Structure 1
Amino acid sequence: MRVINDRLIITLLVLLFSACSGNNTSNEDTLPNIVLIVTDDQGWGDLSIQGNENIRTPNIDFLAYEGASFTNFYVSPVCSPTRAELLTGRYHPRSGVYGTSAGGERMDLDETTIAEIFKRAGYATGIFGKWHNGMQYPYHPNGRGFDEFYGFASGHWGDYFSPNFLERNGELIQGDGFIIDDFTNEAISFIENHKDQPFFAYIPYNTPHSPMQVPDSWWQRVEERGIELRHREPDLENTTFTTAALAMVENIDWNVGRINQKLEDLGIEESTIVLYMSDNGPNSWRWNGEMKGRKGSIHEGGVRSPLFVKWTEKIEQGTKIDKISSSIDMLPTLADLAEIPHKTSHPLDGVSLKPLLLQEPVSWEDRLLFNHWNGKTSVRSQQWRLDHEGNLYDITQDRAQRNNVSDQFPEIAASLSDSLNRWEENVLADLKSDQADDRTFPVGHPDFRNTQLPARDAVPHGNIERSNRFPNDSFFRNWSSRSDSITWDVEVLESGQFEIDLYYTLPEEDLGSVIELSFGDNSLSDTIDVAHDPPVEGMGHDRIPRQESYVKDFRPHSMGMISLQAGRGLLTLKALDLPGSGGPDIRLLMLKRVD
């Protein structure tokens, strides 16, 4: 009784506070805990419950058996758009998300997030994993409604074993063990710490996104079992990649089991809603239910995701829902299930799925769902999908999209084409691009001490080059001239004094390089007097060669203090003296407000 009484007391205090602030909530029964698990680049077919004989996922499957599973749940073709949609309840172009890096992944600051909704209702809010919707505060998770953040804000990470440059609420730290196990440990600690009050735990894992790194024990299980079920065009499949991806999912499954067990051990399993989904289609050609497309595609294989929702108190075991639904439905659905107000700054595109989950006797209206990426849009009705080229598919009969039936059903194709065109005219009207995005990277918010400015968000000039064509987790190299520079387009939000740490590597022969940081009329220069020249690393853990940048052990160098005046401008790094043949490799600037 002690746990129940404590929770009731806390809930009553939350209700009293909410009543005084105008945000009315109901009784304790309307305040379930929420655990939202999102995986990265996992295909619909990467689960044993979907019929994939190459993999074993009993703990994830358990969520479906004990709760509800959605047959036709859709997300965006790539990472940050899906995350923005589930966080805001709106199609990603509306929120300013047009890319996956260098600023294009950020949600506009006038958007209301699901974390803000739950925090207003008295929930403790935490995120553990990959954010991928903005790094600098207030784009940062701690600026978007999350009390606790442990993970990384970039689009992908270069090392999955005790990596550097993870962060906890803005402070850089080193990870502890395999990254998914580490994120789960932190999420479990959060759940334990808040077991006596309602909590919203968002766990966006970053696997099976590449680099394809996974502990030996998980790799060996899948490798020994072998890959029997293949992609519909087997010549396209790299079975080593498939083995790594499925091993990473089996590791996720183990961690989902740990979360399930912790909820049971704490006695809060029945009052906790657990959701499981992916953020896009698979990141390689592998078995995916014969569907067309993969990550990056607006076809079924690129946007169909599993969605399992377990809530022992109210969702009937084994519920199956075939109505089309989407990541845009997450915010209204969870707020509706919790019976909390969800007023937002903009109208939602999503709808509440609560009537379907609780099997309420309501009339469900037909709807259309749209998937957009890289200039291509497709539209899905309950029966049909029309792609960007005008091809029409009857998904109820042809999930694989092998038979274009637009000639047989011209009126349906024309109607869906009109709807697609209207959606593009409406939703894409204000879509940003890397050329048209005028948003700066904010620096020095008075409510947040640290501002990270990674190489990802900077522009190199002269001979300086990026370590990889994918900016996320990259660094700058080949600094060889005093005319070279690195710039960040920033806005200092409030004037102040800032300590500057420069994360660098520098060989012995280039020791004594003098680096200047300037903004407006103020500048700071300092000499790098400690050589630090580690090799690039990461390939030792990779199961196959990666496409993304390898990483280094970058060292922080304290440059001193600089005064920054409020306003917009270029924050510029350049060399005043290069005594050797080159300058430092640069990973990150950290600015720490001291006043």
Structure 2
Amino acid sequence: MIDLKRALLLLLHASMLVLSGSSQGVAQGKEPKPNVLIILTDDQGWGDLGSHGNKLLETPHLDGLAKISTELERFYVSPVCAPSRASLLTGRYNLRTGTSWVTHRKEVMRSREVTIAELLGSHNYRTGYYGKWHNGQQYPTDPIGQGFERFFGFKEGHLNNYFNTSLTSGFQEVETSGYVPDLLADSAISFIRKEAPFFCYLAFNTPHSPFQVPEAYFRKYKAKGLDDRNAAVYAMVENIDMNVGRVLRALRESGKEEETILIFLSDNGPNGRRYNGGLKGIKGYVDEGGVRVPFFIRYPAGGIESGRVSRQFGAHIDILPTIAELTGIKVPDSLQIDGRSLLPIIKGKGVAYPGRAFYTHHVDREFDAIPGAVRTHQYLLTLMPEDTSFYDLLKDPSQEHDLADRHPELVREYIRKYRAWFGEVTGMGVEPPLVQLGDSPAPLTWLPAPEASIYGRVDFKGGEGWANDWLVNWIGPADSAVWEVVAKRPGQYRVSVQLSSEKPLVIALELDGKTHYTKIESPQQAVQVPNRDRVPRGEVEEMRWPEVTLATVQIPAGVHRLKISPAGEVEGELAIKALKLTTL
């Protein structure tokens, strides 16, 4: 039976054929489709631009882009990475997509969501994704499964090294040489130089930690008197600026500049305390400083004005409907888009959507209804576990004056709005989808440690279980990790484990009540990869992990639990990084 998402994409493609007609349409002088280029940065705050008043940071290319674009000064995203990315791709609030946080599969976007790539791909666009994904590691929740023909980058929430590291090309892991943001820009430039129309999504991994940057950039900001952390952050942003300049130059040289819709933004507020234009809060906060980011849009052939600045607000959920309107593609009502086209705002038609509210939710490790926020053109309500605040953003953008006591009726009204919204967008639940087997064009399915349920004394090496973490504190058989998967059809798999052990041991792999025992005869040692950190990292180190085959198993269709544990008491230290399932 054909699934709902595939049926919808077929319908989109059929509608494209009807609208475009035969090949005679080109002969009759139909306008070419515009290209689409989205550039997204990671943890770059509103204040991390020279054009936003930052006196220390040098961003000439981005400042120049602002002058030839329309800027929305009040543009909002989510407080952290993965939710913003899900909303940007789908035009829907992240909680509708299943994405609620940044790790433990809470970052995964449901595969049935229809993305910008799938929308444009159904209208004969080439689609390429370059950089950080962070909405699902396994097919069909990875970039290829969500509509991108080309992918080069990484699927986790962050990399552990930015120099000479492993990246993913399509489904293959490749070793790279150089600084990752430069490599991503190289690949994006190669993609946009080819035939039109294209949709290119360039998602830089910086200035997210770990704080690694080439020496020349770093020395420049140390010479300005900054501490090592902020010197590294500003150096990383200037490197982004340089690469944006390269991309803009490639657009011009390829003759595609006028016919390209270019959007630049960041995914959340700054990852630390630094200049942010007087805004309250940083990454992880529902206040202005946590969710207000730079946003430029440029499309010369579409009549978007250069140098215009709007004080109306827009949000990540508005990007898909805006692109759809600019490309002339109808968005089916069945997609239930939350966003609205930004064109009325960009064209300066007064207050485009009077009475519109934008909602923000944040998970602070454990899922709850709050922290949350409601924004309108004038007001902001923030809901925290021990505090409710109300601000007039037109008069007080820095949130210095809490007006909750002066406007109790408005506060109650906004709370009612928020509760109604939260109930609606969580109506399908927020439980992460299971890892899916049996439908991937790739032979390997990766089950990393942060996606496991852990029992006994097992814990994460880094404490939180961020991306790339591994499991430690294995003492005996009562300590285990469990990955739950769903197989769409029966299949045979080789199961292997990435681990490090000081002593020989026996590993037990349990599947459907049957246990497979593997004796590891000799110590296995993970080796740390040297890093180029500028400050002590909060992430775990990058390691090279030994891999041991545990069993060949037949997995029937349905839901299954793969459980791994020591078969006896553990001597010395044991660390487990991931299970790997290879289709046979």
Which is worse superposed, 551-560 or 463-472? 551-560
Task: Write the distance in 2 (CA, Å) between the matches of 1:344 and 1:525.
Answer: 53
Q: CA deviation at 1:271?
A: 1.2
Q: Which runs of 5+ in 2 are unaligned?
A: 1-11, 364-369
The one-letter amino acid paired with 2:329 is I
The one-letter amino acid paired with 2:374 is V
Equivalences for residues 334-483 of structure 1 within 5 A: 334-343=323-332, 345-358=334-347, 364-374=353-363, 375-388=370-383, 389-432=387-430, 437=431, 439-471=433-465, 472-483=467-478
- Give the structure 1 partner of residue 207 of structure 2: 208
**Contact in 2 for aligned 1:522/1:563 (Cα 8 Å):** no
- Give the structure 2 partner of residue 285 of structure 1: 273
**Contact in 1 for aligned 2:82/2:101 (Cα 8 Å):** yes
What CA deviation, in whole Å up to 9, does each residue of 1:466-488 have, x standing for no partner? 21123211012343434433210
Q: CA deviation at 1:390?
A: 3.9
Task: Write the distance in 2 (CA, Å) between the matches of 1:266 and 1:499.
Answer: 47
**Contact in 2 for aligned 1:23/1:120 (Cα 8 Å):** no
Task: Write the distance in 2 (CA, Å) between the matches of 1:29 and 1:176.
Answer: 41
Task: Write the distance in 2 (CA, Å) between the matches of 1:344 and 1:589.
Answer: 40
Q: CA deviation at 1:425?
A: 3.4
Superposed CA RMSD? 2.6
Instruction: Please give the secondary structure, in 2, of the residue aligned with 1:134.
Output: coil
Structure 1 residue 548 and structure 2 residue 539: aligned? yes
Task: Write the distance in 1 (CA, Å) between the matches of 2:239 and 2:100.
Answer: 31
The one-letter amino acid paired with 2:52 is Q
Task: Write the distance in 1 (CA, Å) between the matches of 2:15 and 2:375.
Answer: 41
- Give the structure 2 partner of residue 495 of structure 1: 490
**Contact in 2 for aligned 1:96/1:431 (Cα 8 Å):** yes
**Contact in 2 for aligned 1:48/1:56 (Cα 8 Å):** yes
Task: Write the distance in 1 (CA, Å) between the matches of 2:350 and 2:374.
Answer: 28
Task: Write the distance in 2 (CA, Å) between the matches of 1:20 and 1:412.
Answer: 45
Describe the shift of the 1:549–1:126 C-alpha distance in structure 2 as closer, same or farther (beyond 3 A): same
Structure 1 residue 518 and structure 2 residue 510: aligned? yes
What TM-score, normalized by structure 1, do the two folds share?
0.87
Task: Write the distance in 1 (CA, Å) between the matches of 2:351 and 2:433.
Answer: 43
Describe the shift of the 1:525–1:261 C-alpha distance in structure 2 as closer, same or farther (beyond 3 A): farther
How many residue pairs align between the two structures?
556
Q: 1:574 aligns with which of 562, 565, 578?
A: 565
Describe the shift of the 1:391–1:585 C-alpha distance in structure 2 as closer, same or farther (beyond 3 A): closer
Q: Which runs of 5+ in 1 are unaligned?
A: 1-15, 228-238
- Give the structure 1 partner of residue 367 of structure 2: none
Task: Write the distance in 2 (CA, Å) between the matches of 1:359 and 1:456.
Answer: 46
**Contact in 1 for aligned 2:140/2:440 (Cα 8 Å):** no
What CA deviation, in whole Å up to 9, does each residue of 1:26-69 have, x standing for no partner? 86635111111111111100010101011011111222111111
Instruction: Please give the secondary structure, in 2, of the residue aligned with 1:503.
Output: strand
**Contact in 1 for aligned 2:525/2:546 (Cα 8 Å):** no
Q: CA deviation at 1:145?
A: 0.9
Instruction: Please give the secondary structure, in 2, of the residue aligned with 1:332.
Output: helix
Task: Write the distance in 1 (CA, Å) between the matches of 2:206 and 2:561.
Answer: 35
**Contact in 2 for aligned 1:24/1:340 (Cα 8 Å):** no
- Give the structure 1 partner of residue 288 of structure 2: 300
Equivalences for residues 212-231 of structure 1 within 5 A: 212-227=211-226
What CA deviation, in whole Å up to 9, does each residue of 1:130-174 have, x standing for no partner? 11111121111111111112222111221111223x322222222
- Give the structure 2 partner of residue 233 of structure 1: none
- Give the structure 1 partner of residue 181 of structure 2: 180
Describe the shift of the 1:406–1:575 C-alpha distance in structure 2 as closer, same or farther (beyond 3 A): closer
Instruction: Please give the secondary structure, in 2, of the residue aligned with 1:426.
Output: helix
**Contact in 1 for aligned 2:312/2:351 (Cα 8 Å):** no
Task: Write the distance in 2 (CA, Å) between the matches of 1:463 and 1:356.
Answer: 54
**Contact in 2 for aligned 1:460/1:466 (Cα 8 Å):** no
**Contact in 2 for aligned 1:30/1:337 (Cα 8 Å):** no
Which is worse superposed, 403-412 or 147-156? 403-412
Q: CA deviation at 1:363?
A: 5.7
Task: Write the distance in 2 (CA, Å) between the matches of 1:34 and 1:485.
Answer: 47
Equivalences for residues 192-203 of structure 1 within 5 A: 192=193, 195-203=194-202
Task: Write the distance in 2 (CA, Å) between the matches of 1:585 and 1:473.
Answer: 13
Describe the shift of the 1:454–1:17 C-alpha distance in structure 2 as closer, same or farther (beyond 3 A): closer
Instruction: Please give the secondary structure, in 1, of the residue aligned with 2:420.
Output: helix
Q: CA deviation at 1:19?
A: 6.1
Q: 1:53 aligns with which of 48, 52, 55?
A: 55
**Contact in 1 for aligned 2:374/2:418 (Cα 8 Å):** yes
Which is worse superposed, 374-383 or 37-46? 374-383
Q: 2:318 aligns with which of 322, 329, 333?
A: 329
**Contact in 1 for aligned 2:508/2:567 (Cα 8 Å):** yes
**Contact in 2 for aligned 1:112/1:344 (Cα 8 Å):** no
**Contact in 1 for aligned 2:139/2:440 (Cα 8 Å):** no
Q: 1:138 aligns with which of 130, 137, 140?
A: 140
**Contact in 2 for aligned 1:171/1:450 (Cα 8 Å):** no
Q: CA deviation at 1:529?
A: 5.5
Instruction: Please give the secondary structure, in 1, of the residue aligned with 2:301.
Output: coil
Which is worse superposed, 439-448 or 490-499? 439-448
Describe the shift of the 1:458–1:344 C-alpha distance in structure 2 as closer, same or farther (beyond 3 A): farther
What CA deviation, in whole Å up to 9, does each residue of 1:386-442 have, x standing for no partner? 22144222212211110123444455444434433332333345552xxxx263222
Instruction: Please give the secondary structure, in 1, of the residue aligned with 2:578.
Output: strand
Describe the shift of the 1:310–1:20 C-alpha distance in structure 2 as closer, same or farther (beyond 3 A): closer
Describe the shift of the 1:358–1:32 C-alpha distance in structure 2 as closer, same or farther (beyond 3 A): farther
- Give the structure 2 partner of residue 189 of structure 1: 190
The one-letter amino acid paired with 1:568 is V
What TM-score, normalized by structure 2, do the two folds share?
0.88
**Contact in 1 for aligned 2:321/2:339 (Cα 8 Å):** yes
